[in-house]
């Protein structure tokens, strides 16, 4: 399975440019990959002051175009996350689109980042179940979720083989990004696909370093800090190989995490 990680440079207060550039890179990557993954809030960036006008709906042109690209190239798309209207609220939502262009899952960010007062902009999600993406069991998380191992364990116990984590993670906490991504993969024997953005917000640079971590915790591919597309081919059979040697999931005391 060949995955493209789109480490976009996300601009402040320029949704039109972000959308145009992001869609262009999705088109380029979809032509030669099985799955394309975008970063967190790649349409608006962290400029959240106009979400009521800039948040998407399921009928938005952005999602329609991503679905069209997926169908045209028979390439699944994990659309990072985008602000979305539903249920009368705005959520930070990660959308999974199958290779046939079907919208197969919406995950609303569960853990909102209190340090940046995200609760003032987004409602917290509650739909944290694994899902099928082209016959592959997957799980979605977003950015700050990486600090909550119970969510990853929950998804792994449901059978997730790949857990996605689109993010806008700052350079100031970059060492923690790598540490946690490796830990979440190693402790659950799953692939973790963590896609960060490039650029900066209010002068503070994002860390970049989008990565694919294998089920042993080894980093299989990693970006630098600038915008780039990272390509990584993974073998899902590696999960069973790792678990045949040591399978911590088999020894989980499930009554302790209910």
Please state, in angstroms and rounded to a whole number, the distance separating the CA atoms of residues 123 and 83.
10
3-state class (DSSP) for residue 251: helix
Q: Residues of 70-98 as b/e, b for ≥16 C-beta within 10 angstroms?
A: bbebebbbbbbbbbbbeeeebbbbbbbbb
Active-site residue, from 9, 15, 106, 109:
109
Q: DSSP states of 136-177 as a string?
A: EEEEE--GGGGG-HHHHHHHHHTT-SEEEEE---BGGGHHHH
Q: Are strands 35-37 and 2-7 parallel, antiparallel or unpaired?
A: parallel
Structure-token pair, residue 9: 């440079």
DSSP bridge partners of 231: 4
> Is 40 labeled as catalytic in the residue annotation?
yes
Helices 149-157 and 174-188: crossing angle in degrees, nearest 10, is: 30
Active-site residue, from 40, 54, 56, 168:
40
Q: Is the dihedral of CA 147, 112, 5, 9 positive or negative?
A: negative
Active-site residue, from 106, 118, 138, 143:
143
Q: Are strands 200-201 and 191-195 parallel, antiparallel or unpaired?
A: unpaired
Looking at residue 130, the DSSP 8-state letter turns out to be: -
> Is 72 labeled as catalytic in the residue annotation?
no
> Is 143 labeled as catalytic in the residue annotation?
yes
Please state, in angstroms and rounded to a whole number, the distance separating the CA atoms of residues 92 and 83.
5
3-state class (DSSP) for residue 207: coil
Structure-token pair, residue 160: 């997730």
Q: Which residues are catalytic?
A: 40, 109, 143
């Amino acid at each position: 399975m060949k995955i493209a990680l789109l480490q976009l440079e996300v601009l402040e207060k320029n949704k039109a440019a972000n959308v145009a550039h992001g869609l262009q890179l999705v088109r380029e990557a979809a032509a030669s990959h099985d799955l394309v993954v975008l970063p967190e809030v790649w349409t608006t960036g962290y400029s959240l002051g106009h979400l009521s006008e800039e948040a998407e709906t399921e009928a938005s042109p952005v999602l329609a175009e991503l679905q069209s690209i997926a169908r045209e190239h028979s390439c699944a798309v994990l659309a990072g996350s985008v602000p979305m209207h539903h249920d009368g609220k705005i959520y930070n939502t990660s959308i999974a689109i199958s290779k046939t262009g079907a919208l197969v899952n919406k995950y609303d960010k569960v853990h909102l980042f209190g340090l940046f007062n995200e609760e003032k902009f987004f409602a917290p999600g509650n739909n944290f179940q694994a899902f099928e993406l082209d016959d592959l069991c997957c799980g979605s998380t977003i950015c700050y979720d990486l600090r909550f191992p119970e969510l990853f364990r929950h998804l792994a116990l449901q059978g997730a083989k790949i857990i996605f984590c689109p993010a806008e993670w700052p350079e100031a906490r970059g060492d923690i990004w790598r540490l946690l991504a490796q830990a979440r993969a190693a402790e659950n024997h799953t692939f973790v696909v963590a896609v960060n953005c490039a650029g900066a917000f209010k002068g503070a640079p994002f860390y970049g370093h989008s990565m694919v971590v294998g089920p042993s915790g080894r980093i299989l591919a990693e970006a630098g800090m600038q915008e780039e597309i990272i390509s990584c081919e993974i073998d899902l059979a590696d999960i069973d190989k790792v678990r045949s040697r040591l399978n911590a999931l088999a020894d989980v005391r499930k009554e302790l995490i209910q």
